[in-house]
Amino acid sequence: MKFWKYLSVFVLFAGSAALSGCGTSEASSADAKAESAVQASIPVGVIRVQRGDIYARHTGTSVLEADFEAPVVAKVKGDLVEILVEEGDRVKAGQVLARLDGERLKLAMERAGAEYQRARKEYARNQNLLELDLVAPGTFENLRFEAEALKAAYEIARLNYGYTRIKAPIAGVIAERLVKTGNHLQVNQRLFVITDPSQLMLELYVPQQNMGRFSVGQTADIRADALPAEVFEATIERISPRIDQKTGTFRVTLRILDHSGTLRPGMFARVAVVYDVHNDAVMVPVEAILDEDIEKSLYVIEDGVARRRIIETGITDRDMVEILEGVSDSDTVVVVGQGGLRDGTLVTEHAG
């Protein structure tokens, strides 16, 4: 009797355990399916399609040059006895920059002056004699020619003595000092280089097929590597009509507007010339585009699913691309993670 009692208890317990195990298995199966669905969804970075103005730019590199630059040279030879300016000093046109030992040239000037004064007085005395017919006209003419020649010799000597005071030919900044006190200078030897940093230019060499895109007065953005956080404005001042046969390029000269005075000649600069603009254009970031062999595409998100769209692109401006066909400004496109997508892939969206 006790046996049957214990057996019935065991059967009830076993049945309860079986039912409990069946419920647990079904719940585990549902959880696994949900987890599998979550795992099948690929996380991607997305961004909304934008509208705005997009600019077509020709980009290039160049070196800044001063529009006004002049070497300062010695016009007479002599020993350099005094330097009055240093590199970085701002000077005016005609300002004395250095002095040469001028004693020898001063004496030569005084001698030439004395000879001219003697000849001038002799000429004046004989002019009175000519009026009294006491001197031949030919002799008088020779005296006049001699006085004029000595006057010219005196002016040259005076000019040479003045050249011992070396002056600035233009206003600007001393960019280079090439001599030291005590140097013996020869004629045409360079002492300084003066530049005007307020008048900066650069030359851009452009492929000939782009000649129709440029015109005088167009604006450009200038970025100097030495000042990466600043953008300067420039305008096209002249365009060479000649094509270089070796390079197939033509020269475009731009004038830079630097109101701050921070740019310097010799700086390496990056140039972007705007030659076209599309207003109210549909745009996406460059990284959204998949550039394949024969077509370009991107992925658009529709109800949590990635859909591949074939697109036609227009202007590329730095990090943005104009989309002519394929998307609208209401679409959201994938910018991160699209390399692992296929049309119809489930995705989890994150702000790109």
Six token digits for residue 205: 């060499």
pLDDT of the residue at 130: 66
Residue located via tokens 């996380």: 43
List pLDDT tens digits, range 77-116: 999 999 999 999 999 999 999 999 999 999 999 999 999 9
Residues pairing with 165 in the sheet = 99
DSSP 37-101: HHHHSEEEEEEE-EEEEEEEEEEEEEE-EESSEEEEE-SS-EEEEEE---TT-EE-TT-EEEEE-
Q: In whole angstroms, what is the distance from residue 267 CA to residue 264 CA?
A: 6
Longest dimension (CA), the chain: 185
DSSP 171-218: SEEEEEE---TTPEEPTT-EEEEEE-TTSEEEEEEEEGGGGGG--TT-
pLDDT of the residue at 342: 92
Q: In whole angstroms, what is the distance from residue 133 CA to residue 125 CA?
A: 13
Q: How far is CA 342 from the centre of its chain?
A: 43
Residue located via tokens 């696994």: 32
pLDDT of the residue at 31: 52
Residue located via tokens 């697109």: 311
Residue-level pLDDT, tens digit, the chain, 352 residues: 433 343 343 333 334 443 344 444 444 554 544 444 445 789 999 999 999 999 998 899 999 999 889 999 999 999 999 999 999 999 999 999 999 999 999 999 999 999 999 988 888 877 777 666 776 777 777 888 888 999 999 999 999 999 999 999 999 999 999 999 999 999 999 999 999 888 899 999 999 998 988 999 999 999 999 998 999 999 999 999 999 999 999 999 999 988 888 898 899 999 999 888 999 999 999 999 998 878 999 999 999 999 999 999 999 998 999 999 999 989 999 999 988 899 999 999 888 7
Q: In whole angstroms, what is the distance from residue 300 CA to residue 48 CA?
A: 10
Stretch (H or E) spanning 253: strand 249-257
Q: Give the CA radius of gyration of the chain.
A: 44
| Domains along the chain with CATH numbers | 43-54+280-351 (2.40.420.20), 59-67+196-277 (2.40.30.170), 69-100+165-195 (2.40.50.100), 102-163 (1.10.287.470)
Nearest to 70 by CA among 181, 176, 179, 186: 176
pLDDT of the residue at 4: 34
| Cβ partners under 8 Å of residue 161, min gap 6 | 102, 105, 106, 108, 109
Ramachandran category for residue 249: left, alpha or beta (phi over 0 → left; psi -120 to 50 → alpha): beta
Residue located via tokens 């997009």: 54
DSSP 133-169: T-S-HHHHHHHHHHHHHHHHHHHHHHHHHHTTEEE-S
Phi/psi at 307 (5° precision)? -120, 125
Other Cβ atoms less than 10 A from the Cβ of 261: the count is 8
Other Cβ atoms less than 10 A from the Cβ of 225: the count is 10
Burial class (CB within 10 angstroms; exposed 0-12, middle 13-18, buried 19+) of 12 = exposed
